[in-house]
């Protein structure tokens, strides 16, 4: 057991890197071998992540909690930076999500990617290490390293295997993220000069700048810029529609499923614990940005004719719930909410935000796969070009409806719970803004049903154009989607296991930040 | 004031001098075929010996003959210079063989240039400083114009020479003012007299023009805006291995001398030269980057990018402090870290340019199209160097960026930090343009080409260096913090 605890995270973290190096050594003509190696190698971290999930759930959850499987090895002693990794109730589910979506993406890509196969799988595996690293890092330098490591492969995935506008989109993606990350680096340095360490755990205990709200805010916004661009929150979202639309299918899945979560995760791992006073002070701003993202994103979706772009904008809207939940918890932290009916509301809002991170990964991941499946056949993303697919592609229709309903928050499916928790919490803290945000829920139902379902699945089938060019889902496509669909149903009917994880994380974070339950 | 002459301390310089002479004799007597490998072989052997001789003395702290410091600061630059020149030689074996008959002279000049660098970085006396810089400059003019039949090479050398001669003269004028003011050319003694007010009565103000005029000379070597105009032409026109040398070792020397003269001789005037450098830093990185953005030749783009990087290096000097307890991020360690990271990275990028010139005839952006299919190793290497230039971890450029941004944050120079942030992003923009050409654009009709063996080795060494500095940042942090601490008197 001691061996497991010491090594499990390191193995999960570097396994994909080793796999990518292995892929690099395979001659590029042996494409099938490259595909097989990548998929099977990616199963190892997936299994380990599942074991991690169960192990943490049974041994630590409800008990000691906190950060487990910690490893700390000195790296740059002069700077107090170390290879310090660990996982807690927040990161364990996200590590699992990363492993799952990566394996599914590799499996799906193995059938779809036929061009420059070796580079593709090499980059994808490299990307996985970057994402794992962010979810595990407990040192700011390490966090930054992995944050950037993930950036480069995604730049290539969009730029090489993307659609028509791929070069513009990849460049925009990279430069936008870079602005944020350099600002973040400057803020990290400011934290270092205040405390003399880059260690996240130590910084959490020290709470630098607690009595200096001006400097705290300066540092806060340095980090905030980096994270908000990644989330992305309005008005920093403009890179997203381009990147998501132009990326290859699996790239969009990972972008929406994991990379956006890195930003939200940073709020919870860095901003809230280290700068709780600034987080509380600016909580209301996050609420406003979150609500604007929800409503604005949803209305923009209504105006889309490009199916993929629509799903992309729906991410802006859905990540707004995360911002709303986090911001509401921040407002509650100020302790100046006289009408707060129940102190649990702060934790509930945060639970909702975390649930939304996970659920959005599953649901939007599935939706991007589905859009990709249609695009592979039709080679257009224009949703007005379709119609009547429900009769011709019933299987596809069924799966799409599940994912679509989950996305609009139908009770019984996963998406419902995250929205419910966010609004249940936020309503108690920031009433009016939460009420405005709820408009987004209605509009979401609008664009899913009216824009997508009515245009693509209902109405007249264009026999002339599509004839027998469209066929229903085949084996590997079903195999890619079913795990996600099952998770949507499972979490919709019985979200308790995941809620237990996130609630324990939320309570711990809020307590540490000084919230009195 | 004269110390006894400790010859061991001068061993690196002596080794280089002897090697240069040996190279000339080998060139005289060896047959052409033998000379082709013997000349670079002997040169590299000499540089390795010089490296060892310098490395063995790490930790020494004395002044030899009253003019040459044997301290960790000087050794640090000597080590970087020796390693980089080895890489330059590896990259030039085939490049120069195909372009000139005068190989012996080429390698001998490179070694003499290295010798000049060794002298300049350890000089503690204005006369020696001038001697070192001027030797370096003159040899650099020759190396730049080495391809006699190439018009661009000739033009570059003439431009470089004209600018250089004027800059040297201005610098010398500054030195003479300093001497007139204080009555000494010894850096430490100048500092003492300035501090004590032991200078020409009523002429204390002469120190300001002296600082500014001396700075012109250093800024010329380090290619800071507005003293940079020679750089793009010289970098583009010079044989690419020479460009590797100019943009790394020669530029680093400018910074080394600037740091030593300002920090040793004029600490009391700190506010003034720091303000001057603050402006130069912002100007340099912004102008360099904006012009680089518009280039269509990769070589010229890298030339402007190298100007912009000089602005980044300068940030370290601008924000130099002496934190208690020898903590890192004192500013000067940023300069040192940047120099080593930049040496590997930029030399690497120019080496790839040389290889592409070899393979396709020129180094325009268009010649890089689809490089991943035509010369995968070159494309991968270039990608690594460009990402390192953009400061992406875990590569060398990240360590460099961390170490120059940190002191700026420590000093709370918000304006400089924001300008640097914007510049970092702009720079990434044009690096990615090259990446885009190499990886995203596909030109199946263009032929693949091979890379020379020496070049391959050089590139591998530089790739290892780029990853090494980034991942084992602790070693380089140790060395640079130590060297800087010695110079800052910690």
Residue of B nearest to A166 (CA): B440
Q: Which residues contact B477 (CB under 8 A, 6 or more apart)?
A: A76, A78, A79, B328, B333, B337, B399, B403
Q: What is the pLDDT of residue A126?
A: 95
The minimal CB distance from A78 to the residues B328, B393, B409 is found for B328
Which residues in chain A touch residue B417, judged by CB atoms under 8 angstroms apart?
A: 186
Q: What does the mean pLDDT of chain B come to?
A: 90
Check CB contact of A167 with chain B, cutoff 8 Å. Answer: yes
Integer Cα distance of B131 and A47 in angstroms: 67
From B411's Cα to the closest Cα of chain A, the distance in A is: 10
**Contact in structure between A20 and A122 (CB atoms under 8 Å):** yes
Q: What is the pLDDT of residue B391?
A: 92
Q: What is the pLDDT of residue A470?
A: 87
Q: What is the pLDDT of residue B324?
A: 66
Q: What is the pLDDT of residue A340?
A: 74
**Contact in structure between A374 and A397 (CB atoms under 8 Å):** no
Does the pLDDT of residue A78 top 50, yes or no? yes
pLDDT, tens digit (0-9, with 9 covering 90-100), for A132-187: 999 999 999 999 999 999 899 999 999 999 998 999 999 999 999 999 999 999 99
Residue B303's nearest CA partner among B237, B231, B362 is B231
Check CB contact of A21 with chain B, cutoff 8 Å. Answer: no
pLDDT, tens digit (0-9, with 9 covering 90-100), for A366-405: 999 999 999 999 899 898 888 888 888 999 999 999 999 9
Integer Cα distance of A514 and A360 in angstroms: 29
**The tokens of B368 are what?**
């890089």
**Contact in structure between B427 and B292 (CB atoms under 8 Å):** yes
Residue A207's nearest CA partner among A189, A221, A222, A195 is A195
Question: Residue A408, exposed/middle/buried by CB under 10 A (0-12, 13-18, 19+)?
Answer: buried
Integer Cα distance of B145 and B67 in angstroms: 32
A interface test, pick of B329, B406, B472, B485 with most A CB neighbours within 10 Å: B406
From B102's Cα to the closest Cα of chain A, the distance in A is: 42
Q: Do A151 and B328 touch (CB under 8 A)?
A: no
Q: What is the pLDDT of residue B1?
A: 43
Count contacts between A and B (CB, < 8 Å).
80
* Average pLDDT of span A194-216: 89
Which residues in chain A touch residue B481, judged by CB atoms under 8 angstroms apart?
A: 78
pLDDT, tens digit (0-9, with 9 covering 90-100), for B251-289: 999 999 999 999 988 888 888 888 899 999 999 999 999
Which residues in chain A touch residue B372, judged by CB atoms under 8 angstroms apart?
A: 119
Q: Which residues contact A16 (CB under 8 A, 6 or more apart)?
A: A41, A42, A45, A102, A125, A126, A128, A129, A132
A interface test, pick of B327, B336, B432 with most A CB neighbours within 10 Å: B432
**Contact in structure between B325 and B284 (CB atoms under 8 Å):** no
Q: Domain boundaries in chain A?
A: 283-517
* Average pLDDT of span B178-186: 91
Integer Cα distance of A135 and A13 in angstroms: 10
* Average pLDDT of span A329-344: 80
**Contact in structure between B463 and B384 (CB atoms under 8 Å):** yes
DSSP conformation class of B447? P
Is the overall model pTM greater than 0.90, yes or no? yes
Which residues in chain B touch residue A134, judged by CB atoms under 8 angstroms apart?
A: none
Does the pLDDT of residue B3 top 80, yes or no? no
pLDDT, tens digit (0-9, with 9 covering 90-100), for A85-121: 999 999 999 999 999 999 999 999 999 999 899 999 9
pLDDT, tens digit (0-9, with 9 covering 90-100), for B202-253: 888 888 899 899 999 899 989 998 899 899 999 989 998 999 999 999 999 9
> What pLDDT band is residue B325 in, cutting at 50, 70 and 90?
low
- In this prediction the ipTM stands at 0.92
Q: Do A186 and B478 touch (CB under 8 A)?
A: no
């Amino acid at each position: 057991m001691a061996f497991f605890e010491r090594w499990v995270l390191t193995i999960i973290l570097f396994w994909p890197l080793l796999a990518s190096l292995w892929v690099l050594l395979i001659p590029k003509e042996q494409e099938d071998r490259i595909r097989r190696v990548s998929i099977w190698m990616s199963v190892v971290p997936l299994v380990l992540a599942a074991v991690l999930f169960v192990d943490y759930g049974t041994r630590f959850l409800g008990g000691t909690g906190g950060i487990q499987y910690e490893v700390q090895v000195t790296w740059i002693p002069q700077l107090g930076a170390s290879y310090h990794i660990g996982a807690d109730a927040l990161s364990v589910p996200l590590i699992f999500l990363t492993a799952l979506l990566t394996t599914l993406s590799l499996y799906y890509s193995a059938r779809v990617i036929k061009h420059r196969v070796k580079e593709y799988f090499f980059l994808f595996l490299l990307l996985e290490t970057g994402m794992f690293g962010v979810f595990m890092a407990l040192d700011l330098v390490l966090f930054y390293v992995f944050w950037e490591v993930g950036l480069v492969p995604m730049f290539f995935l969009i730029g090489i295997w993307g659609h028509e506008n791929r070069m513009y989109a990849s460049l925009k993606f990279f430069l936008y993220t870079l602005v944020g990350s350099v600002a973040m680096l400057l803020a990290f340095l400011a934290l270092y000069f205040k405390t003399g360490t880059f260690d996240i755990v130590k910084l959490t205990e020290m709470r630098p700048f607690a009595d200096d709200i001006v400097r705290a805010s300066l540092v806060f916004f340095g980090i905030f810029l980096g994270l908000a661009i990644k989330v992305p929150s309005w008005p920093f979202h403009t890179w997203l529609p381009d990147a998501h639309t132009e990326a290859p299918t699996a790239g969009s899945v990972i972008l929406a499923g994991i990379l956006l979560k890195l930003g939200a995760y940073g709020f919870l791992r860095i901003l809230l614990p280290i700068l709780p006073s600034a987080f509380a002070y600016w909580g209301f701003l996050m609420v406003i940005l979150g609500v604007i993202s929800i409503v604005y994103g949803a209305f923009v979706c209504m105006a889309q004719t490009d199916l993929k772009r629509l799903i992309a904008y729906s991410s802006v809207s859905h990540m707004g719930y995360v911002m709303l939940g986090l911001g509401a918890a921040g407002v509650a932290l100020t302790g100046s909410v006289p009408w707060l009916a129940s102190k649990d509301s702060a934790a509930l809002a945060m639970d909702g935000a975390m649930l939304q991170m996970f659920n959005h990964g599953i649901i939007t991941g599935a939706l991007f796969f589905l859009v990709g499946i249609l695009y592979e056949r039709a080679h257009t993303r224009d949703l007005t070009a379709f119609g009547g697919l429900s009769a011709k592609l019933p299987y596809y229709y069924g799966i799409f409806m599940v994912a679509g309903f989950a996305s609009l928050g139908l009770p019984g499916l996963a998406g419902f719970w995250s929205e419910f928790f966010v609004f249940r919490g936020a309503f108690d803290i920031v009433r009016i803004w939460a009420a405005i945000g709820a408009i987004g829920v209605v509009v979401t139902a609008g664009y899913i049903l009216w824009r997508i379902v009515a245009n693509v699945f209902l109405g007249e089938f264009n026999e002339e154009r599509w004839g027998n060019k469209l066929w229903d889902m085949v084996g590997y496509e079903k195999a890619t989607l079913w795990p996600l669909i099952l998770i949507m149903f499972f979490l919709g009917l019985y979200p308790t296991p995941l809620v237990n994880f996130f609630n324990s994380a939320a309570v711990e974070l809020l307590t540490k930040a000084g919230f009195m339950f | 004031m004269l110390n006894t002459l400790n010859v061991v301390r001068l061993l690196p310089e002596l080794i280089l001098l002897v090697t240069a002479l040996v190279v000339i004799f080998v060139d005289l007597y060896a047959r052409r075929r033998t000379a082709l490998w013997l000349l670079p072989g002997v040169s590299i052997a000499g540089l390795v010996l010089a490296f060892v001789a310098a490395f063995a003395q790490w930790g020494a702290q004395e002044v030899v003959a009253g003019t040459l410091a044997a301290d960790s600061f000087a050794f640090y630059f000597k080590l970087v210079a020796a390693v980089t020149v080895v890489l330059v030689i590896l990259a030039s074996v085939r490049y120069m063989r195909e372009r000139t008959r005068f190989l012996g002279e080429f390698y001998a000049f490179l070694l003499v240039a290295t010798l000049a660098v060794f002298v300049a970085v350890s000089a503690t006396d204005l006369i020696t400083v001038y001697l070192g810089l001027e030797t370096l400059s003159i040899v650099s003019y020759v190396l730049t114009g080495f391809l006699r039949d190439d018009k661009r090479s000739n033009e570059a050398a003439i431009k470089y020479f004209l600018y250089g001669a004027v800059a040297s003269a201005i610098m010398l004028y500054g030195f003479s003012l300093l001497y007139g003011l204080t009555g000494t050319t010894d850096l430490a003694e100048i500092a003492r007299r300035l501090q004590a007010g032991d200078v020409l009565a009523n002429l204390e103000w002469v120190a300001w023009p002296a600082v500014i005029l001396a700075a012109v000379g250093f800024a010329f070597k380090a290619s800071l805006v507005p003293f940079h105009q020679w750089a793009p032409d010289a970098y583009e026109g010079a044989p690419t291995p020479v460009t590797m040398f100019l943009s790394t070792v020669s530029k680093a020397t400018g910074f080394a001398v600037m740091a030593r003269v300002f920090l040793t001789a004029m600490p009391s005037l700190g506010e003034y030269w720091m303000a001057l450098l603050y402006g130069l830093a912002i100007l340099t990185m912004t102008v360099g980057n904006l012009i680089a953005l518009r280039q269509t030749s990769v070589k010229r783009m890298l030339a402007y990018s190298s100007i912009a990087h000089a602005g980044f290096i300068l940030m370290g000097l601008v924000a130099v402090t002496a934190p208690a307890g020898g903590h890192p991020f004192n500013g000067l360690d940023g300069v040192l870290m940047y120099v080593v990271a930049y040496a590997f990275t930029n030399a690497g990028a120019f080496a790839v340019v040389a290889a592409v010139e070899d393979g396709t005839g020129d180094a325009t952006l268009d010649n890089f199209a689809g490089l991943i299919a035509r010369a995968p190793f070159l494309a991968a290497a270039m990608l690594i160097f460009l990402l390192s230039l953009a400061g992406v971890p875990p590569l060398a450029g990240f360590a460099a960026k961390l170490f120059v941004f940190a002191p700026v944050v420590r000093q709370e120079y918000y304006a400089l930090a924001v300008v640097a942030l914007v510049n970092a992003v702009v720079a990434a923009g044009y690096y990615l343009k090259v990446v885009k050409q190499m990886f995203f654009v596909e030109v199946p009709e263009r032929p693949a080409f091979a890379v020379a063996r020496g070049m391959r080795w050089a590139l591998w060494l530089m790739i290892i260096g780029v990853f090494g500095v980034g991942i084992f940042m602790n070693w380089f942090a140790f060395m640079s913090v130590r060297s800087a601490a010695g110079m800052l008197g910690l």
